[in-house]
Amino acid sequence: MKLLIAGTLKGQLTAATKIAMDRGASVTHVPDVEGTLRHLRAGRGADLLMVDVTLDIRGLVARLEAERIHIPLVACGVDNDARAAVAAIHAGAKEYIPLPPDPELIGAILAAVAGDSEEFVVRDEAMQAVVRLAGQIAPSDASILITGESGTGKEVLARHVHGRSARKGKPFVCVNCAAIPENLLESELFGHEKGAFTGAVARRIGKFEEADGGTLLLDEISEMDVRLQAKLLRAIQERVIDRVGGAKPVPVDIRILATSNRNLAEEVKKGTFREDLLYRLNVVNLKIPALRDRPQDILELAGHFARKYAQANSLPARPLSAEVRKSLMAAPWPGNVRELENAMHRAVLLATGPEIGPEALRAPDGAAMDSLALSRGLAAQAAATAEALSRSFIGRTVADVERDLILQTLDHCLGNRTHASNILGISIRTLRNKLNLYSDEGHRIPPPPGGEARVAGFY
């Protein structure tokens, strides 16, 4: 991973740098906020930003947000000053690290960002076949389309391909096309020149140039506007890009990977995705099966997550009880590996005995996740909900019903626009337009979750 350190840290910089490098990080040092911005605008990239607490962290966070540069930031200080730590967190830092540095603490921070997410845990033959194909095509420069339901591990597979390619020592850059507003995505991908639009205070290198020599992952590419797809097609075909407001094309040397949880062939029929772009991206298709279709992976992954979160929380590693193993195998896992990971994280924290028992296996709301009770409860709940819905429709307009459905779904997803759009079967662009309309009408819109901005990593 790439670590960017800003500030002098009163002589503790050398020690922090050595610890990070011993943990496998590539470290760059800049003296101040301006140096930080120059480094990031130039497309050199960073996975984690470590900032001297004496610098203007609030101002740096505001400028990063204004220029749409999304990097997790931790503050560091040589004094055990609780007020400085609290102020840094309030300013936007994710964590505060006291110095002189503790090697284990530095290692934990780096691990949390880099994650163990690049580990590929697989036992089921259906998934093994996908991994074998990925390994076979990884050394080539062919574009790959990775498809599968949300939470199956598409980004992890993309990292797996990059790590076994000839470009593995070069950058791996991920762009979530669904998380970036349509009018900003072009600048995010291709960069811009100073003054190209309001707010373009300096030249900004885009993700294509940042990934030069390496791999660019276009996550959830189905959410990209058709007009921008034409520019993307040219970039893939000719290996040149045009910065917004730029006067001349810029050559790039990258490999393109893309993911989608939608059927792009169906999107082509609807007119929301270009057929020629699909052909360019879909040289090889890696289709990841849903977790319910690779049952032998369930217990393997559950054990992996149990060990991972026990270690992360300094808790004893506990085996899974027979009852829990049975429940895990019987559960439908509509959220796939992501849902299983969250369930095991909760189970590790809630377990009290020598094993992880059924009392620790709970849904997010605290309800027990007994598989048989769950299935019976879901059936009864579905019947009751269907009856209640049919009665509630009478005397209401279609627009009112649609609005309530969208807002209730968004509330159920804790404000996550991407998840809500997937459940509703509409594009995130359509969802945003609806929410803007409802907001103008005075309806309360559930805010997005605070941690929705992603570090390239797990799922």
Taken as a whole, the chain contains a residue count of: 459
The model's pTM: 0.63
Same domain, 280 and 142: yes
Same domain, 129 and 271: yes
The answer to whether the beta carbons of residues 100 and 78 sit under 8 Å apart is yes
Here the tokens at position 253 are: 């040397």
Q: Answer whether residue 418 shows pLDDT above 70.
A: yes
Residue in 66, 35, 38, 67 with CA at minimum distance from that of residue 51? 35
Q: Which of the two residues, 287 and 396, has the higher pLDDT score?
A: 287
Instruction: Give the total number of structural domains in the chain.
Output: 4
* pLDDT digits 0-9 by tens, 315-327: 888 999 999 999 9
Q: Would 222 be classed as within a structural domain? A: yes
Q: Answer whether residue 261 shows pLDDT above 70.
A: yes
Mean pLDDT of the chain: 83
Q: Would 366 be classed as within a structural domain? A: yes
Q: What is the pLDDT of residue 457?
A: 34
pLDDT (average), residues 301-324: 89
> How far is C-alpha 50 from the chain's CA centre?
21
| Pairwise CA distance, residues 203 & 41, whole Å | 7
Same domain, 133 and 233: yes
Last residue of a domain, one of 289, 316, 342: 289
| Pairwise CA distance, residues 205 & 211, whole Å | 10
Same domain, 141 and 263: yes
Which range marks the domain in which residue 89 is found?
2-114
168: domain CATH number is 3.40.50.300
Same domain, 184 and 134: yes
> How far is C-alpha 112 from the chain's CA centre?
13
Q: Are strands 144-147 and 284-287 parallel, antiparallel or unpaired?
A: parallel
Q: Would 379 be classed as within a structural domain? A: no
Last residue of a domain, one of 88, 114, 140: 114
DSSP states of 111-149: HHHH-STT-----SHHHHHHHHHHHHHTTS---EEEE-S
**Run of H or E including 49:** strand 48-52
| Pairwise CA distance, residues 408 & 316, whole Å | 39
Rounded (10°) CA dihedral 54, 57, 59, 65: 160
* pLDDT digits 0-9 by tens, 201-226: 788 888 999 899 999 999 999 999 88
* pLDDT digits 0-9 by tens, 115-140: 544 557 888 999 999 999 999 999 99
